[in-house]
Each structure stands twice: as structure tokens, then as C-alpha cells.
Structure 1
Amino acid sequence: MNTLVLAAVHIDEEKQWGHYEPWLKKVSPERQARILRMRRPADRIRSLVSELLARKYISEARHIPFSEIEFLSNEYGKPFVSEALSLSFNLSHSGNWVLFALDETTVGVDVEQIHPVEELSLAKRFFDPAEAAQLSELSEKQRQERFFQLWSLKESYIKWKGTGLSTPLHSFRFMKEKGEWSFSNDHGDECFFHSIRLDDSHYMAVCTSKRYDAIPQVIVYEVEDFLTSLS
């Protein structure tokens, strides 16, 4: 492996939890127990598919069995694998999508479903004032789409940092001028971003330590095809 990997699984809402349950044996007993404690079937499915995605691509990248992959987490809850594997991964889910990124340097990824919210109110509360000002200049439809594009970019950065929302969303900013995004932050970080329209109602963003002039195409699975690929 010498490049970024991006993969996304589209979940079938019509399938019940029992359809996915046989795949539990592919994950650790601890993870099985955690998944089964989740009350909502949709949460169980997303959690299971997330872990299977990570195990599949880490296993393929380093030629090790599923069962030998051990996941750890930092003080903020960001998962990682042993330094000996020289890999960084990240996961996100929103709507019917589960998203995964894998790289040999630190990576963060996020997917956001576009839906009605009070964009300006949220932006003024959480974002840098300059970001909120740019949003206020857009039409209602443009503002809704830009808000979630911006949110996915901001989430990908704090997931790259591995600090979650302990890093204030107003302490860094994405500005769009003449169709190009620029990034600045109060933390001295250097990282690189790509924003992608995953489908008509979802934006995704990836934050990398390495500069990629072009990122690889997202590997997209319907959930049945993804599960079949694990057999």
C-alpha cells in the first residue's frame, strides 16, 4: 500500500438486524458485546459495518488475518492500530452511508447528510465569524449545501487531530474564494483537504497529512456486495 484508500458502504434500510447478525463472528467478542448492547438496530448495523470495513482494508494492506487486528483508542476516543502496522484509519457514518479512510500517515474523514437545519444560527454559534459571514451571503439552497460541506470539512480536521470537539470549531476556518477552499488554524497544523459530493444528499471530506494532488476514487459498495467480499 502506498496511497490513500477511501471506501463507502451504502446500507439497505429494508434489511432487519437479523440479516446482518451472522457477520458478528467476524469481529472481536468485546466488539460483539458492545454492538449487541445498542438498542437501535440501525446503530448496530452501522457499528458492525464500520468495524468490518476497517478489518477488511487493514487486513488486505498488511496481509494479516481479521482476528489479529487489535483496535485501541486515544483519550478522545479516536481508534487506531498498533504503530507496528504503520497505518492510520478513520470512520464516519451519516444517513445510509458508512465511510472509511486508510493511509500510511494520519487521516481523518467525515460524511454528512444534507437536511434542513438552522444553518446561520448554528454557524454563528460554533463556526469562525468569517465562515458564518460567507454563509450569510448565499441563497437558502446554496447555504444549506455549503453548511454541510463546511461541516464535513471541519469534522474531518478534528478527526485528523484526534481530539474531537475538544478542539473548538471556531479555532480553525475554511474559506471559499473563486471556487477554491483555503484553510487556516490556530494550532500550527499543516494538513490537506478534499471535499467530495458522495451522492445527491451527502458530502464527504478527507483530511490527510500527505498532500495528494488528486485522491483515489471512492470505492462504493452496496452492503450486500460488501458482505459478499468478506466471504
Structure 2
Amino acid sequence: MLHAEVLLTQISLNPSLSSDSLSASSEAKLATMQSPARVQQFILGRMLLAQAAARALGFDYAVADIEEGEFFPYLSKAAHLHASISHSGDSLGVTVNTERVGLDIESCRPKANIAKLTVFALHQDEARWVNTVEAESQERFYLLWTLREAAFKAGIRNQVIRGSSLVHDQIIRTDWHWCSEREQQLRVSIAAKTPCTMVLIHKPCL
């Protein structure tokens, strides 16, 4: 059983961050960003990843040893570990594990057009499940949305990009494993190829 720790923080609680400790590849990627908010989120994400790596390794891990891959950051001095990062609104989350785990977080903002959105964004069977119970439609939508995003990040892509549904007979059934929790105004989901559990760890200020 894979026990995944997800570290969560609020971006607004970490306003003054220096890029001095970043790797050269992170510095290069940072240089392409013009939005101060995006810069802050990027630096904070690498700092939080270093803390997650330290928890997984049992000793300090340097932010400078986080490199930028084609799509995702990776731990150059701990190649056996896999990192995943996600942000939404003022929230940012990371997870580091010995197996590949995809993480997605979403701020659960109420959507007035949820019925139309589900039809546009999800498989027709999923949309039907989301819209069956109006009182639960928002929760069901964010659950499916984050599961799809997490699975994509975990490299589990056949079921989430080829038009198949995650819902069968009104139940979520997948060929892979997942965990999901509602954390205040946030939906947090992970996906993996092996059975997994998830624990949320809050890090208000880094």
C-alpha cells in the first residue's frame, strides 16, 4: 500500500520569496514569467517540493536540486522519487513518492452553469451522474475533474483522454487507484497504479 503525503499551503501566506536558491533550469523557466503572482507561486512550489522530498528521504533536500523537465519538475539528486505539483486559486499542493502519483487540487467555486459545463467537459455518462442529484452536482463535478487531472499526471492516460467514462452503473470504477478528500473549499485528489492512501499536511508558512 502506497501512503502518499500531500503538503498544502496558501500562496498569500508566503508573500516574500527569493529565487536565489533555485536551480539554473528553474531560474531559466522563471525568467519567462511576467506575472508577479505566477512568479510567487512557482518559487513557492519548488520550496514546498523540497520539503516534501526531505520528508520522503529523512534528510534535508536542497531547492537547487529540483530541475525542470519538459512538463514537470523532478528531483535530480533523488531519481527514485517522483514529484507532482498542483495549484488552484490561493492554494498549492505537492506530493513526493517512490511510485508515480498524480496530484490535482481545485478550488470548489460554485458554478451556476454546472449542468451545461458537465455536458461540455465530461463523458456523457459522467455528466448524467453529476446532474442526477442537483444538490450533489458541484461535489460530483469537482471529484471527477480532479480524478481525471490526477490520473493524467500519474501517466494513466488511456481512460481519461480517449473518451471513456470513469462512471459505470452510477459508480466510479477505474482500472487504477485513487483517493480524494474535500478540504474546506478545496478538492484534493491523487491517482496511482497501485493501492494508495492519502494524508493532508498543512504548511501555512515556509
Which among 131, 136, 144 is matched to residue 150 of structure 1? 144
Q: For residue 187 of structure 2, what is the aligned residue in structure 1?
A: 203
Higher relative contact order (CA 8 A, sep 6+): 2
Q: For residue 123 of structure 1, what is the aligned residue in structure 2?
A: 118
Deviates more, 1:49-58 or 1:98-107: 49-58
Distance 1:39 1:174, change over 3 A: farther
Q: Structure 2 CA distance, aligned partners of 1:126 and 1:80?
A: 30
- Note the 1:101-180 alignment, pairs <5 A: 101-115=95-109, 116=111, 118-139=113-134, 141-161=135-155, 168=161, 170-174=163-167, 177=170
Post-superposition offset of 1:41: 1.7
Post-superposition offset of 1:72: 4.7
Distance 1:79 1:33, change over 3 A: closer
Matched, 1:71 2:67: yes
Q: For residue 9 of structure 2, what is the aligned residue in structure 1?
A: 9
Matched, 1:91 2:85: yes
Contact 2:50–2:62 (Cα < 8 Å) also in 1: yes
Post-superposition offset of 1:83: 9.3
Q: Structure 1 CA distance, aligned partners of 2:193 and 2:77?
A: 16
Question: Over residues 162-220 of structure 1, what are the superposed CA-to-partner deviations in whole Å (9 max), with x where a residue is unaligned?
Answer: 76x9x52733414585xxx5323xxxxx4210111121x210101123313xx343110
Q: Given residue 205 of structure 1, which amino acid in structure 2 is its aligned partner?
A: S
Which among 31, 35, 41 is matched to residue 30 of structure 2? 35
Post-superposition offset of 1:39: 2.1
Q: Given residue 92 of structure 2, which amino acid in structure 1 is its aligned partner?
A: V
Q: Structure 2 CA distance, aligned partners of 1:43 and 1:162?
A: 28
Identity value in percent: 18
Distance 1:86 1:30, change over 3 A: closer
Distance 1:84 1:44, change over 3 A: closer
Q: Given residue 189 of structure 2, which amino acid in structure 1 is its aligned partner?
A: A
Question: Over residues 120-150 of structure 1, what are the superposed CA-to-partner deviations in whole Å (9 max), with x where a residue is unaligned?
Answer: 22322232211111112121x4212221122
Q: Structure 2 CA distance, aligned partners of 1:82 and 1:174?
A: 38
Q: Given residue 163 of structure 2, which amino acid in structure 1 is its aligned partner?
A: H
Count of aligned pairs: 203
Greater fraction of residues in helix: 1
Contact 1:54–1:100 (Cα < 8 Å) also in 2: yes
Post-superposition offset of 1:157: 0.7
Post-superposition offset of 1:11: 1.9
Q: Secondary structure of 2:173's match?
A: strand
How does the TM-score come out when normalised to structure 1? 0.75
Q: Secondary structure of 1:171's match?
A: coil
Deviates more, 1:4-13 or 1:203-212: 4-13
For structure 2, the residue ranges without an aligned partner over 5 or more in a row are none
Q: CA RMSD in A?
A: 2.9
Q: For residue 172 of structure 2, what is the aligned residue in structure 1?
A: 182
Q: Given residue 48 of structure 1, which amino acid in structure 2 is its aligned partner?
A: I
Q: Given residue 146 of structure 2, which amino acid in structure 1 is its aligned partner?
A: S
